[in-house]
Structure 1
Amino acid sequence: MSTEPANPLLLDADRPGLRSADSAVRLLATADADPNKLTPAMRQYVDQKKAVGDAVLLFRMGDFYETFFEDAALCARVLGIALTTRDRSENPVPMAGIPHHALESYLLKLVQAGYRVAISEQLEDARSSKGLIRRDITRIVTPGTLTDDTLLSRTRSNAIAALCVQGEEVGVAVAELSGGIFEVLTANRQVTVDELVRIAPAEILTDESGPAAEIARQVSQHLPLSCTRRPPHEFTRHNAERTLHEHFGVTTMSGFGFDDIGSALCAAGALVRYLRETQRSAVTHLTTLTRRNSADYVQLDRNTWRALEIDRTLRTGSHEGSLLESVDRTVTAMGARRLGRWLAFPLRDLAAITARHDGVGYLRDEDAVRRRIRDALRGCADIERIAARISLVRATPRDLVALGRTLTTAPAIVEAVGTHPPHILGDAAGRLRGFAGLTELLVKSIRDDAPIGLREGGIIAEGFHPELDRLRAMASEGQSWLAEYQRRLIEETGIDRLKVGFNQVFGYYIEISHAQKGRIPANFVRRQTVKNAERYITEELKRFEDDILTARDRANELEFQLFEEVRRDVAAETGRLLQFAEALAELDILCGLAELAVERRYVRPRVIEGHRLDIRDGRHPVLDQTLDDRFVPNDVVLGEPDARLIVLTGPNMAGKSTYIRQAALLVLLAQSGSFVPASAMTFSPVDRVFARVGASDEILRGHSTFMIEMIEAANILRNATPRSLVILDEIGRGTSTFDGLSLAWAITEHLAKQTRCLTLVATHYHEMTELAELVPGIRNFRVAVQEVGLTTRSSSSPPAAGDESDERGSDAGSIVFLHRIVEGGADKSYGVHVARLAGVPMPVIRRSIEILDELQRGFERKSTHPRRAGDRSLPSAQLSLFPDPADEVLRVLKELRPDELTPLDALKLLSELKARFGA
């Protein structure tokens, strides 16, 4: 992890790499003003640093990546490495370096801390270079452009987005550089934030206008994010059109389904331009551009996404305990990432949902087929990311080895799928065919034990290239020649301990100890003195050295050229390889969901047209696994001819929130293509899911609980349709009792009568149960509670002082949550009993019961039913903790003895009452 926290939103003006006031920057400015004071290498560094702006420049010098000036100070602080100086002049240059073999770990720290990093590589071998070594920036690494496995999460996608705001419309372009995905969408500003929260890009590009930056700021409130501002001209129609035409090699975007260069394509053009700039190459693996149509997927706003804990939990923000973690049974990284996308964007089309269910059902029933496919998939590499690195000319020999091994598994997977599978499986198997030629090339060309490096040799397989085999034979025969030469020298000189060796600095040598120096032949030329010996060279050994080193260098250079040729041949198949990877991922997901169905007894949901949700013995998909057999299943029945809205009452901690969330999660699972934890489920696809629960994060941002409740309620009331599913948890709890009740009543009434969507309302307002008598389509349900020992004492009577059974927390006078949902409304909240279970001291419990009794007596006298919509005849009542004047009058009258009052006393009493309590 980084040594300093990453800023959740880094604008260019705030980027930590910019410190124009500090002395290191002044040093750079001074050096730039007088370049004659710099060495050629330092002038090269300064020129490249100016070209990359605020990015940290890692400058390759031999075995190290060096940083200078302000970058050195920054790296020393962030990476915890030593800060030194390059010279000892009056103004020494700050310097800090990292070993080249540790680049990835240090690079990750810098990127996680929010910095962009430019990497300048040596483009030629220092041994063969004459003068200044050629160096150039080969890539700029940013949070959204990572491609190396060491910098990426294995199971989570890494996306980058660009925004272009045109009026009320926002064009969004999204790319996954490490996976070859490139798509666009258009939406209004609110929906754009919702979509980006689901996509979770690591970086967002905006122009310098306020609206785009504001959208990025709102997204950053929900996830870690780096925001990069780009020049406005990059988002113009003209520049975007030219960039996209160059990238795809076309003269019009009509072939991609785009008749006009609108805001989305302007964003796409700016994004391609940025990717080219950072990668220093054409991003040719982004072979197509697709439009994401919001009508194809279930819409989830940012609050619903968080509340349902689909990819991370509310409490810890971690993946563990989320819906995704609970249902993931994939065995490949590609499958795990694509499953996340399936859950983030559930389908709406009935036929598409059914096709996924067909695939899962087939694999669930065919155990042998499922096992064979999963066994083969376990040996598959991450082809999606390997294909991206091949296209970007960053693939290593080991990447090609992994690709070849994976391609060899394809025939076995195709055979396992069979000849008559469901269409979705047959289509995936079809995309695995046709790679025999590429497989043969990789298997024959690259050695199984190939190294990561490209210049050390050992890459190309024996027999692939005759000239390479000949050069290798020369090097191999050289070892035999050296052994024979050493034997001959020992025989000729009589020096038993004579050795022939080699090092990188002095080449081949003959080593003789100091004790034998008197026996050295005249043709031996001294080359080096070491501690206990002298090293010599002969003309014969020098000729051999020239021949053997030339052969070795030629072999290594030829291997590099052959590897690049193979890599280019493979790169030409990038588009098909990405389809291959997609097919593997889909098969992995379908097999994983089938495995889950077998393991957890999931059933296939039945999809129908209409407006219906019927779940029998449903279980929460996360808690079902953590609680195992202890989880209590429940039914949910919504839609015609039953109720479209359920009012659920019951005490806190009884399971109301779990029940309504469970219903939403099962719908999302079913529409993602999964089976569900239930004994049976029938449903009609929904267009949107809304969840109004909790507001803790917003409170930390300065918003009141009640304000957030009302903002989210307004969003639901304005955007829900008859095909939506809405869950409301304790709506109205953030304000006074009667204000909250009135709003909860009106919101529920509106959803039932005007919106007519499928709705679950969990509430502690028992008065809400009366809605079922007033509004058609509403039914009451409650959480069953078992009372233990409450028959001997009123549920609202305080325990006597010193009641030891209560102090010990025994079962006397307690409740048991059964977690079963039954028809009818609850008539008690059991709030005091829940407080007691939580450990609230007994004096407080007794006092709360006294206050509760007083409030209930007042409510019984003043109770009025909420009015029907449009009925203005009945007043409302508000309870008070203070004595009611009417109660005092009644008390005085009850204590009167009329027979003992004179007429004058009676008049005086009336006068006092009037003066005390008013007219």
Structure 2
Amino acid sequence: MIKQYREIKEKYKDYIVFFRLGDFYEMFFEDAHIAAKELEIALTSRDPENRVPMAGVPYHAADQYIYKLISKGYKVVICEQVEDPKKAKGIVKREVVKIITPGTITEINALDEKKNNYLVCIYREKHNFGIAAADLMTGEFVTTEIQSPYPYQELLDELSKLEPPECLVNISFYNDEALQKILKTNFNFLLTTREDDYFNLESAKELLLSQFGEEQLADIFKKTYSVIASGACLNYLRETQKLTLNHINSIKYYERNEYMVLDISCRKNLELTESLADGKRYGTLFWVLDKTETSMGGRTLRKWIEQPLIDIIKIKERQDAVEELYNDYFLRQELKEQLKNLYDLERLTGKLVCGNVNARDLLAIKNTVKYFPKIKELLARCRTKLLVTLHNDLDPLNDVYEILENSINEDPPLSLKEGGLIKDGFNADIDKLRKAATEGKSWIAELERKERERTGIKSLKVGYNKVFGYYIEVTKANLPLVPKDYIRKQTLANGERFVTEELKEYESLILGAEEKLLELEYEVFCQIREKLIAEIPRLKKSSQVISVLDVLLSLAEVAACNNYVKPELTLNDEIHIVEGRHPVVELTLKDEMFIPNDTHIDCKDSMISIITGPNMAGKSTYMRQVALIVLMAHIGSFVPAKSAQIGIVDRIFTRIGASDNLASGQSTFMVEMVEVANILKNATSKSLLILDEIGRGTSTYDGLSIAWAVIEYINKHIRAKTLFATHYHEITQLKKLKGVKNFKVLVKERGEDIIFLRKIVDGEADKSYGIQVAKLAGLPKSVILRAQQILEELEQHDKSNIQTEQIAAAEDVASSETQLNIESIKNEQVIRLIKDLDINTITPLEALNLLYSIKQKLI
């Protein structure tokens, strides 16, 4: 047996081998040590001489142990007995029947119900990438490719959207140390490698044709890198599942610019599906919008948030459907009432194909499709285009329901080998065998009664076990009363067990009927399963209809509950929001009312909004709220505002917060600059930029210079709608540029304290209130007092320097009087500038800027 195990382990060196041994899965040698540690089970040995380490788990409870190992980053091989031990000659034959990895999990309970579990395959050739993503349980299969001057950034953006637990890559990809470093610092997935010959174009085409057919692949075959990645992905799935995977029956190629592009920083900063604090759903946009009744709907909503539309026609179709459901309260509630009873039909179809479906899963399918006719009837009342399409596409699956209703018992066992799967009346042969087995058991009960009367032994009983079969058991005290025709079979501590010739005959009849019944029930169950597998395209289509309907209902319900409005989508470049609110913050506030704010930005007169104000006053909340409202509008959702007009946006960029990436050798400032560089390289005039405190990670002059230059670059070269929050008040001078406007957050001073009013108004803040904010944060009183002293000293020092600089500037002007007379226009401008100067309030930086402007005017 160990020799057999070693031969299998040699082929699967990087896997934990679950080796079937009777009623247990055993692990040996190093696998046993790993399992004992990770699963907290006993390390044993059955070989006293060689002390072969062993660790085992019961086969019927193996799933929980397997998925615990998978969650810790291991891969598992299931090695089963593939012949009947009773009929085997020598050692029982064993084969690998399944490979389980993080990307190929087939147990529904081990998966996040509202998140796809993608296996992603990446093929790299120089700076070109083919990407394929498959969800084994739902059958979804998509592909794209990257050919770009910035492939690493775009690859990160795609992976952050898909969030795979496992990536299959070629050796060329794996050997790129720089790329490996980037991935490890941003993701925590299992990286599985294959040699380059695994990624072969011709074999990929052949494999894809066998799975999808020529019609689906005509356009995809023009995308070489996608074809190679898709072929390798499909090959890996077949390799691990040992199946043809009929439920993966469609493949979709998508261009990344078909959707609004959201890079990895934007997804994190806007907290779309995971919070920055703990990675949970609470406090995210998904948490706000998710009132879905089904797992299918939850996954679809997540995809809509991750991939906002930029096609205005498709967006408006979603909006109109949401509006119809929003306006019809009773229809909305009736549909929700139906949907709340549905199981995860998408993943149940995956279980059908992957071979781990049981009778209770078939009942779940039946108890899901039985609601489809009523849902279709309710949808018949709808008039908007998308809801009419859903009505037409929903297959009520009456025939599937009838098959399952007539065949599967209402309370079947979990195991498929225990019988009790099939209803009476569905199969004549099962009925006959069941009757024979039942009558045989009745005969046994009658035999016990008769033998008690015949022998006078009231405690006599007829029993059964797997080893000895049926027997008559008599206690020691009653052994003298045993008849002569009883044949002794087993001696016990408290009595004896006997058989009779008559009992032997009926035992053969009963056990024969029961064994045949179990085999036949399983055979019929498999036939029913195959019928359902043939209907998978219909099951998948209807499940997709339900998932979209569920999302539309969720968006309508959220809009009704939270007082959202339908935004007007346009093709111009304006974003006009009246009394906008942050969708997450307003729901998490407990003791405070959310203060709404207006927004008007475009690519002409109000292109860049420079926002100043103290920390904690609400600048970041305001900017995020604008980005989230824009994003919500692009997925078809209503938005938290009094009214909103949203021009189509191709990308949202965010540079918010301070974070480092020490693992890759990047400081906080370096991370900030990398993100800014990415924005300036990729933003277009149709983009929305959210920039918070650019340049604060370095010295004041350096930071101010960078922030200033960034605004000028956006204004001159990109012309994108931009919200720019800063503490560099000097930047507000850029309002002289066309399209730049200043805004501030209102605060109210009360003595040495301040009150945040959370209101964004025209103008610029005159100071940052840093010490007041520090006081609110709870710094010791002595620190606050000392900070105030130091601030006063620095301000006095600044005033002294300003006076010196102004005198010098005036003397320079006087000495150049002749020249100024020659250029009278410049002379007047400079004199007026100096006369208007208030030397009591000017800062050193303002003095420098003054000198700079004078110099520019005199050139």
TM-score, normalization by structure 1: 0.85
| Map of 1:61 onto structure 2 | 21
Aligned match of 2:359 in 397, 407, 411?
397
8 Å contact from structure 1 (residues 233, 239) kept in 2: no
Q: Secondary structure at the match of 2:767?
A: coil
SS class of match (1:82): coil
Conserved? CA contact 2:366–2:404, under 8 Å: yes
1:704 aligns with 2:667: yes
Report the CA distance between 1:423 and its aligned residue: 1.8
Instruction: Spell out the pairing of 1:270-289 with structure 2 (5 A cutoff).
Output: 270-289=232-251
2:719 is matched with: 756
Q: Which residue of 2 aligns with 1:671?
A: 634
Contact 1:298 1:348 in 2 (8 A): yes
Change (3 A) 1:384 1:625: same
Aligned to 2:446: 484
Task: Report if the CA contact (8 A) 1:163-1:212 is conserved.
Answer: no
1:87 paired residue number: 47
Conservation of the 8 A alpha-carbon contact between 1:525 and 1:537: yes
C-alpha change, 1:261 and 1:644, in structure 2 (3 Å) is: closer
SS at match of 1:630: coil
Matching residue of 2:79: 120
Describe the superposition over 1:559-612 as per-residue Cα deviations: whole angstroms up to 9, x where unpaired: 111111111110112122122111111111111111111111111111011101
Report what 1:809 is aligned to: none
Q: SS where residue 186 of structure 2 aligns?
A: coil
- How far does residue 243 in structure 1 lie from its aligned partner after superposition? 2.0
- Matched with 1:143 is 102
Partner of residue 64, structure 2: 105
State how far apart, in whole Å, the 1-side matches of 2:547 and 2:655 are.
33
Shift of 1:641: 6.4
Q: Structure 1 residue 815 and structure 2 residue 754: aligned?
A: yes
Task: Say whether the 8 Å CA contact 2:18–2:76 is kept in structure 1.
Answer: yes
Distance 2:470 2:17 in 1: 39
- Structure-2 separation of matches of 1:428 and 1:842: 64
The alpha-carbon deviation at position 413 of structure 1 amounts to 0.9
Cα deviation for residue 531 of structure 1 reads 2.4
Aligned amino acid, residue 58 of structure 1:
F
Q: How far off is 1:695 after superposition?
A: 3.7
* CA deviation map 1:809-868 (0-9, x unaligned): xxxx21100111111111111111111222223343333333333444555554999xxx
| Paired position in structure 1 for 2:93 | 134
Q: 1:205 aligns with which of 135, 157, 168?
A: 168
1:164·1:212 contact (CA, 8 Å) conserved in 2?
Answer: no
Match of 1:157 in 2: 116
Is the contact made by 2:174 and 2:193 (CA closer than 8 Å) also made in structure 1? Answer: no
The equivalent residue for 2:282 is 320
Give the Cα–Cα distance (whole angstroms) in 2 for the partners of residues 212 and 386 of structure 1: 38
Give distance in 2, aligned partners of 1:476 and 1:254.
54
Pairwise CA distance, 1:669: 1.1
Equivalent position of 1:220 in the other structure: 184
Deviation (angstroms), 1:453: 1.1
Structure 2 gap segments, 5+ residues each: 810-825, 831-842, 848-859
Q: Is the 8 A contact 1:241 1:261 kept in 2?
A: no
Residue among 594, 598, 602 paired with 1:639: 602
CA distance in 2, matches of 1:263, 1:99: 44
User: d(CA) in 1 for partners of 2:358 and 2:182?
Assistant: 39
8 Å contact from structure 2 (residues 319, 636) kept in 1? yes
Alpha-carbon distance, 1:129 to partner = 4.7
Please tell me whether the aligned partners of residues 179 and 385 of structure 1 are also in contact (alpha carbons under 8 angstroms): yes
Aligned match for 1:532, one of 494, 499, 504: 494
Confirm or deny: 8 A CA contact 1:445 1:464 kept in the other structure.
Answer: yes
Q: Which amino acid aligns with 2:73?
A: G
Contact 2:185–2:663 (Cα < 8 Å) also in 1? no
For the residues of structure 1 that align with 2:398 and 2:753, how far apart are their CA atoms?
71
Confirm or deny that 1:739 pairs with 2:678: no
Listed one character per residue, the Cα deviations across residues 536-573 of structure 1 (whole Å, up to 9, x for unaligned) are 01111111010111101101100111111111110112
Q: Could you list the per-position Cα deviations for residues 712-731 of structure 1 after superposition, in whole angstroms to 9, with x for gaps in the alignment?
A: 11111111000000000000
Give me the whole-angstrom Cα distance separating, in 1, the residues matched to 2:563 and 2:180.
42
Q: Is the 8 A contact 1:114 1:143 kept in 2?
A: yes
| Aligned AA (1:485) | L
2:680 pairs with one of 679, 698, 717: 717
Aligned residue in 2 for 1:661: 624
Pair 1:417–1:613, CA change in 2 (3 A): same
Aligned residue type for 2:506: F
Conservation of the 8 A alpha-carbon contact between 2:597 and 2:759: yes
Q: What residue identity is the alignment partner of 1:466? A: A
Structure 1 contact 333–382 (Cα < 8 Å) conserved? yes
Other-structure match for 1:3: none
Counterpart Cα distance in 2 of 1:777 and 1:767:
17
Q: List per-residue Cα deviations over 1:277-302 (Å, max 9, x = no partner).
A: 11111122111110122121110111
**2:344 matched to 1:382?**
yes
Structure 1 residue 167 corresponds to structure 2 residue 106: no
The amino acid across from 1:562 in the alignment is V
Equivalent position of 1:551 in the other structure: 513
Change (3 A) 1:594 1:766: same
1:237–1:261 Cα contact (<8 Å) kept = no
Deviations 1:60-112 (A, max 9, x none): 112211011111111111111111112111x2211110112321221122111
Counterpart CA distance in 2 for 1:758 and 1:854 is 41
- Equivalent in the alignment of 2:196: 232
| Amino acid in the other structure paired with 2:183 | V
Q: In the TM superposition, what is the alpha-carbon distance from 1:509 to its structure 2 partner?
A: 0.5
Q: Does 1:295 align with 2:254?
A: no
Cα displacement string for residues 190-241 of structure 1 (whole angstroms, at most 9, x for unaligned residues): 2111111111011011111146755455233223200001111011212212
Map of 2:765 onto structure 1: 826
Q: 1:430 to 1:129 in 2, by over 3 A?
A: farther
Q: Residues 512 and 534 of structure 1 are in contact (CA less than 8 Å); yes or no, is this contact kept in structure 2?
A: yes
1:487 and 1:845, CA in 2 relative to 1: closer, same or farther beyond 3 A?
Answer: closer
Q: Distance in 2 between matches of 1:433 and 1:209?
A: 46
Structure 1 residue 125: deviation in Å? 4.4
Q: Distance in 2 between matches of 1:681 and 1:452?
A: 54
Of 472, 480, 483 in structure 2, the residue corresponding to residue 518 of structure 1 is 480
Answering whether residue 154 of structure 2 is matched by residue 191 of structure 1, we say yes
> Could you say which residue in structure 1 is the equivalent of 2:138?
179
Q: Distance in 1 between matches of 2:121 and 2:217?
A: 22
2:171 counterpart SS class: coil
Query: Letter of the aligned partner of 1:207 in structure 2?
Result: N
Residues in 2 aligned to 1:558 and 1:728: alpha-carbon distance in whole angstroms: 68
- Give unpaired runs (5+ residues) of structure 1: 1-40, 790-812, 866-870, 875-882, 888-919
Matched, 1:360 2:319: no
Give me the whole-angstrom Cα distance separating, in 2, the residues matched to 1:66 and 1:286: 33
Amino acid at match of 1:221: T
Deviating above 6 A after TM superposition, structure 1's stretches of 4 or more consecutive aligned residues are none
2:205 to 224, 228, 241: 241
- Alpha-carbon separation, structure 1, partners of 2:283 and 2:218: 40
Residues 525, 536 of structure 1: 8 Å contact kept = yes
188-197 or 169-178, which deviates more: 188-197
CA RMSD of aligned residues (A): 2.2
Paired residues of 2:106 and 2:354 also in contact (CA < 8 A): no
Equivalent residue, structure 2, for 1:44: 4
Shift of 1:522: 1.9
Change (3 A) 1:84 1:681: same
Match of 1:607 among 550, 569, 572: 569
Q: Partner amino acid for 1:840?
A: L
User: Is the contact made by 2:660 and 2:666 (CA closer than 8 Å) also made in structure 1?
Assistant: no
Q: Secondary structure at the match of 2:637?
A: coil
Task: Summarize deviations over 1:362-393 as a string: whole Å, max 9, x none.
Answer: 11111111111111111101111100111122
Deviation at 1:753, TM superposition (A): 2.6
2:586/2:594 contact within 8 Å kept: yes
Matches within 5 A, 1:853-864: 853-857=792-796, 859=798, 862=802
Supply the AA of the counterpart residue of 1:736.
S
Do the aligned residues in 1 keep the contact of 2:185 with 2:661 (CA within 8 Å)? no
Contact 1:204–1:228 (8 Å) recurs in 2: yes
